[in-house]
Structure 1
Amino acid sequence: MSNPFVSHYNTMIRAYSFSDSPQKALFLYRDMRRTGIAANPLTSSFVVKSCIKFLYLLGGVQVHCNIFKDGHQSDSLLLTAVMDLYSNCQKYDDACKVFDEMPQKDTVAWNVMISCCIRNNRTRDALNLFDVMQTERYECVPDDVTCLLLLQACARLNALEFGERIHSYIMVHGYGGALNLCSSLISMYSRCGCLDKAYDVFMGMKNKTVVSWSAMISGLAVNGYGREAIEAFEEMLRNGVQPDDHTFTGVLSACSHSGLLDEGVSFFDRMISEFGITPAIHHYGCMVDLLGRAGLLDKAYQLITSMEVKSDSTVWRTLLGACRIHGHVTLGEQVIEHLIELKAQEAGDYVLLLNLYSSAGHWEKVAEVRKLMREKSIQTTPGCCTIELKGVVHEFVVDDNSHSRKVEIYNTLDEINKQLKIAGYVVELSSELHKIDDKEKGYALSYHSEKLAIAFGVLVTPPGTTLRVASNLRICIDCHNFLKLFSAAYNRDVILRDHKRFHHFRRGHCSCNDYW
């Protein structure tokens, strides 16, 4: 074309934004401006979407500058795209600034802001926005996408009460038949340890797809109901629904969490031979976890080295966790070497190695690893637990003194410790990784974030109330023992979600059967 108009450029730029070469949209945009053709808001929005596709922050910032230059800063749809760019590029503050400066905020803009909070680890802020957007400076009505995003946030935070609010909103506003929302509700309730409500949603679905079946199977798996997950899988087949790779991830995970070794091996073989699904890295990860938990560390190592897909850091990290469980120091050191080769070692890997060395009494090795971590400026992630009360999520870290009711919480925890010691509780000193005397170890273990969250729950809820706690790390042996005895002594159920699975503590026992 000898004289293309802006509409022609827009068509081509939009096409490139959907293609495998989104960077070409920027080249065309540059050429268009150099020829003196003024961009309109559509042009800029397509270019911004291209930048999002390959996370080109610098290019997006340049387009943002041109938006002001072209006088399009009042276009809310365009600014929503810019906000989405900053969100995807982990620039939370910049996304917030764009959002705050938008003259008109519609539901799409609010949804992008909520998504930005979730993506940038500001999940509690995402829940707050649900109420803010409906106030009188805004009057914006949440839609089905809003509900979908907030259910994800509730699942992350273990925020059951808030999730129930969203569920009610979904039903009142006529979204109850949406398959994606039903699947998200199943996932949310499962991840909050509330399987009865997840099952109610599942049974209420008229048309169950492989997505909804997979969500239910995964929910059973993560809560330690391995046999029930297998039964659900077989029921799905009887209903004529074919499994996909996500279904098998769920059922293999169920076998792993429940120690069903033979069943897991059988499902892995069936996935390939019967259903023609090529194992992906996450399927191999489940198998490594299954073999590792069963103590078959050499077989797990052989599986990794013989995989048809390239091994990643996650699968090696899974094996490292098994080495910690079974005290296999030599293999653990080999796994660390593989992680170093992949340039993927993280703080958590060194913590697992510290666990290995300390449990074996290799304190000189512990000192070496700690020195290495200091030299590399490796910072470990502090333990953090959350507990929800009346829709508000309360957060605790080890030795926390930031809560407004800290004095009452610590007094309550001291009383709980006294009662549990009478009932036979003995501190598991091996859970403390520092070489300090037993008295100091006992003190350090007394104020883990899980225990502070439980003390807060006892303080603010009536006797007999189930306590639901979420932890960002794997629960330590001492806290696990503490919660088992607490559930019996205080006649309270405790549902704790760590970063791997759920633990349902009831009457002195845990659903994991001490297999986690």
Structure 2
Amino acid sequence: MMGTSVLNYNHHLLPSKDLPQSSSELNLKQKEQEYLCLVKKCKSLEEFKQVHVQILKFGLFLDSFCSSSVLATCALSDWNSMDYACSIFQQLDEPTTFDFNTMIRGYVNNMNFENAIYLYNDMLQREVEPDNFTYPVVLKACARLAVIQEGMQIHGHVFKLGLEDDVYVQNSLINMYGKCRDIEMSCAIFRRMEQKSVASWSAIIAAHASLAMWWECLALFEDMSREGCWRAEESILVNVLSACTHLGAFHLGRCAHGSLLKNITELNVAVMTSLMDMYVKCGSLQKGLCLFQNMTRKNQLSYSVIISGLGLHGYGRQALQIFSEMVEEGLEPDDVTYVSVLSACSHSGLVDEGLDLFDKMKFEYRIEPTMQHYGCMVDLKGRAGLLEEAFQLVQSMPIKANDVLWRSLLSACKVHDNLKLGEIAAENLFRLSSHNPSDYLVLSNMYARAQQWENAAKIRTKMINRGLIQTPGYSLVEVKSKVYKFVSQDKSYCKSGNIYKMIHQMEWQLRFEGYMPDTSQVMLDVDEEEKGERLKGHSQKLAIAFALIHTSQGSAIRIIRNLRMCNDCHSYTKLVSMIYEREITVRDRNRFHHFKDGNCSCRDYW
């Protein structure tokens, strides 16, 4: 019977040829119920049209209940057709609130958000009053389009109709303002709610996550857990995982993983991929690999995440092996996968392999290189010291280079002390009206290293005149499930005296192992003693000292930095790992460094 038309299968419901023209009201009511039952069983638009013809033939469509049911089936079924639903809707003389809600919801489900808002306005013009089912859907349309002006007007309508205390409407308003980047309004609505649901918490946490307000995400999750009235749903835990990923909060991420296992029977591919991403970016590559290997189903994104993770940790060869396994499994790499594998080659100095993959991407898989792919290639050549080749690629590529590519070249010029090419890269950045203060500081520091103090001062003055303020370098360290933040020369903690005592003790022991502060990393025109004092206060050293004081002997230390690690901190941390017998994992702006027994996983290539 599979594939048989609903009408054929239910032939006894079709009108009899000898049925009297003037059927009784009872018969019509029965016939209406029979046809509505058929409508719900339709599995395609073709079947639906056959039933719809019969409904029209019997004049059943004139009944508002029947017409609304027919419209809802056409607009909201899996096989829906909004074009056909629109033709049905236009036949209604006086569409009801339910009919408008059906059409608005159908448009939103079909990602046609503009038509959803247009139809809502039409609803108001026809003086059909919206209800509490209208607003969650139309606000979702505003959220997806990020049209805050329309969203605010609709918020005003909510107040006029007295629906501001409806929890579903409130949750939708929180979501809409969050997607429109007005977090203050989202928080104001959330605070005013007398009764919150788990969806309310999900909406406010998602609003903060969309703005990368990771600390606030974790604080809200903690508040929700403290109240103990709700069990965290999947969407909340995924956002918490994202927060842990960005903050490097490994232990908190593990707790979120535990909550997922408790609350959800089977984790889907998207959640498993988020977990894997969290572990590899919090420094636990082995845990991430274990999850990857245990996944029953993998997609391109799963492979991209683990390939990127291996690259960040300096395991470029293994990343290439996973990439080969993906192709052998019959999964065709996409543009995202190629960004991951090219980046892995860059971090491990696999220049020839990266060039070969770039050619295969273009000619074998017919993937047009994007700015990200060219960025990976510039980074690959720049890190390897092939600065002229990197510069030629930037000049010859078919799309105009953006600030990211010029910044990558400038950074490579700084690492390899090529001031001449660095000036060209910086000039192009300034021409692009760069508002990134680090661009000015990198060039200024290059002038300072060349002892061109006047030029260094000019660049810094230019930066200040443009009102640009550099974000201070900071390091995050997790101790006893709490994340602590240190900035360079930080003395804000109440126990900072103990930290600086520990720094002094560490440096004293390191000198016995041959450590000498690399004062060339201090780009200030001061004496050597002052430079040495400056180096002591680097945020990474403060974080390590704090962790050594407050964690047990032999336990691992995990640190996240917002800037690239300097040479002095790198040499310093290698020796600390050996003297204090600690494994220290540091994630800087570009990659991971695993320090153990006086060695680093990057093999001094970063």
Structure 1 counterpart of 2:597: 507
Shift of 1:487: 1.2
- Counterpart amino acid of 1:205? M
Shift of 1:150: 1.4
- Counterpart amino acid of 1:328? N
Structure 1 counterpart of 2:336: 246
Shift of 1:175: 4.3
- Paired residues of 2:441 and 2:460 also in contact (CA < 8 A): no
Structure 1 counterpart of 2:394: 304
Matched, 1:51 2:116: no
Name the CA shift for 1:20/1:238 in 2 (closer, same or farther; >3 Å): closer
Matched, 1:60 2:151: yes
Please show how residues 305-324 of structure 1 align to structure 2 within 5 Å: 305-324=395-414
- Secondary structure of the corresponding residue to residue 39 of structure 1: coil
- Counterpart amino acid of 2:510? L
Name the CA shift for 1:346/1:184 in 2 (closer, same or farther; >3 Å): same
Q: TM-score w.r.t. structure 2 length?
A: 0.80
- Secondary structure of the corresponding residue to residue 504 of structure 1: strand
With 480-489 and 364-373 compared, the bigger mean Cα shift is at 480-489
Q: Deviations over 1:70-111 (max 9, x none)?
A: 211112222222112222233323211111222332222212
Shift of 1:455: 0.6
* Structure 1 segments unaligned to the other structure (5+ residues): none
- Paired residues of 1:357 and 1:366 also in contact (CA < 8 A): yes
With 484-493 and 23-32 compared, the bigger mean Cα shift is at 23-32
- Secondary structure of the corresponding residue to residue 232 of structure 1: helix
Shift of 1:127: 2.1
Q: Deviations over 1:334-354 (max 9, x none)?
A: 222322333334112112212
- Secondary structure of the corresponding residue to residue 156 of structure 1: helix
Matched, 1:38 2:129: yes
Structure 1 counterpart of 2:320: 230
With 354-363 and 378-387 compared, the bigger mean Cα shift is at 354-363
Structure 2 counterpart of 1:343: 433
Larger-gyration structure (1/2): 2
Structure 2 counterpart of 1:286: 376
Matched, 1:102 2:175: no
- Paired residues of 1:144 and 1:175 also in contact (CA < 8 A): no
With 75-84 and 247-256 compared, the bigger mean Cα shift is at 75-84
Q: Deviations over 1:318-344 (max 9, x none)?
A: 112112112222222222232233333
In 2: Cα distance, 1:432 partner to 1:245 partner: 40
Structure 2 counterpart of 1:221: 311
Please show how residues 146-295 of structure 1 align to structure 2 within 5 Å: 146-295=236-385
Matched, 1:88 2:179: yes
Shift of 1:11: 4.8
In 2: Cα distance, 1:444 partner to 1:34 partner: 68
Shift of 1:426: 1.4
Please show how residues 68-147 of structure 1 align to structure 2 within 5 Å: 68-136=159-227, 139-147=229-237
- Paired residues of 1:76 and 1:103 also in contact (CA < 8 A): no
- Secondary structure of the corresponding residue to residue 441 of structure 1: helix
- Compare relative contact order (CA 8 Å, sep 6+) and give the higher one, 1 or 2: 1
Q: Paired residue for 1:487, among 567, 570, 577?
A: 577
Name the CA shift for 1:211/1:453 in 2 (closer, same or farther; >3 Å): same
Name the CA shift for 1:23/1:352 in 2 (closer, same or farther; >3 Å): farther
Name the CA shift for 1:406/1:429 in 2 (closer, same or farther; >3 Å): same
In 2: Cα distance, 1:217 partner to 1:53 partner: 31
RMSD: 2.2
With 268-277 and 454-463 compared, the bigger mean Cα shift is at 268-277
Structure 2 counterpart of 1:394: 484
* Structure 2 segments unaligned to the other structure (5+ residues): 1-89
In 2: Cα distance, 1:175 partner to 1:271 partner: 39
In 2: Cα distance, 1:312 partner to 1:218 partner: 23
- Counterpart amino acid of 1:65? G
- Secondary structure of the corresponding residue to residue 585 of structure 2: strand
- Secondary structure of the corresponding residue to residue 225 of structure 2: coil
Q: Deviations over 1:229-266 (max 9, x none)?
A: 11111122223332222221111111100001001001
In 1: Cα distance, 2:274 partner to 2:141 partner: 29
- Secondary structure of the corresponding residue to residue 385 of structure 1: strand
Q: Deviations over 1:419-440 (max 9, x none)?
A: 1123222111122222222222
In 1: Cα distance, 2:171 partner to 2:147 partner: 17
- Counterpart amino acid of 1:62? Q
- Paired residues of 1:285 and 1:318 also in contact (CA < 8 A): yes
Shift of 1:8: 4.6
In 2: Cα distance, 1:191 partner to 1:44 partner: 39
Q: Deviations over 1:10-61 (max 9, x none)?
A: 4555566578875565555455445544332343334433332332333322
Structure 1 counterpart of 2:415: 325
Q: TM-score w.r.t. structure 1 length?
A: 0.93
With 108-117 and 337-346 compared, the bigger mean Cα shift is at 337-346
- Counterpart amino acid of 1:287? M
In 1: Cα distance, 2:111 partner to 2:371 partner: 24
- Paired residues of 1:177 and 1:205 also in contact (CA < 8 A): no
Matched, 1:361 2:476: no
- Counterpart amino acid of 1:239? E
In 2: Cα distance, 1:497 partner to 1:490 partner: 20
Please show how residues 376-455 of structure 1 align to structure 2 within 5 Å: 376-455=466-545
Name the CA shift for 1:134/1:345 in 2 (closer, same or farther; >3 Å): closer
In 2: Cα distance, 1:246 partner to 1:180 partner: 15
Between the two proteins, the alignment pairs up a number of residues equal to: 515
- Counterpart amino acid of 1:407? G
Please show how residues 465-480 of structure 1 align to structure 2 within 5 Å: 465-480=555-570
With 237-246 and 448-457 compared, the bigger mean Cα shift is at 237-246
Q: Deviations over 1:177-213 (max 9, x none)?
A: 4211211111111101111111111121122322222
In 2: Cα distance, 1:22 partner to 1:130 partner: 31
In 1: Cα distance, 2:300 partner to 2:563 partner: 31
In 2: Cα distance, 1:14 partner to 1:330 partner: 59
Name the CA shift for 1:20/1:185 in 2 (closer, same or farther; >3 Å): closer
Q: Deviations over 1:476-502 (max 9, x none)?
A: 222112111211221211100011110
- Secondary structure of the corresponding residue to residue 41 of structure 1: coil
In 2: Cα distance, 1:477 partner to 1:156 partner: 24
In 1: Cα distance, 2:595 partner to 2:297 partner: 34
In 2: Cα distance, 1:131 partner to 1:176 partner: 24
In 2: Cα distance, 1:174 partner to 1:302 partner: 52
- Counterpart amino acid of 1:119? S
With 238-247 and 463-472 compared, the bigger mean Cα shift is at 238-247
- Secondary structure of the corresponding residue to residue 78 of structure 1: helix
Name the CA shift for 1:75/1:469 in 2 (closer, same or farther; >3 Å): same
Shift of 1:464: 1.8
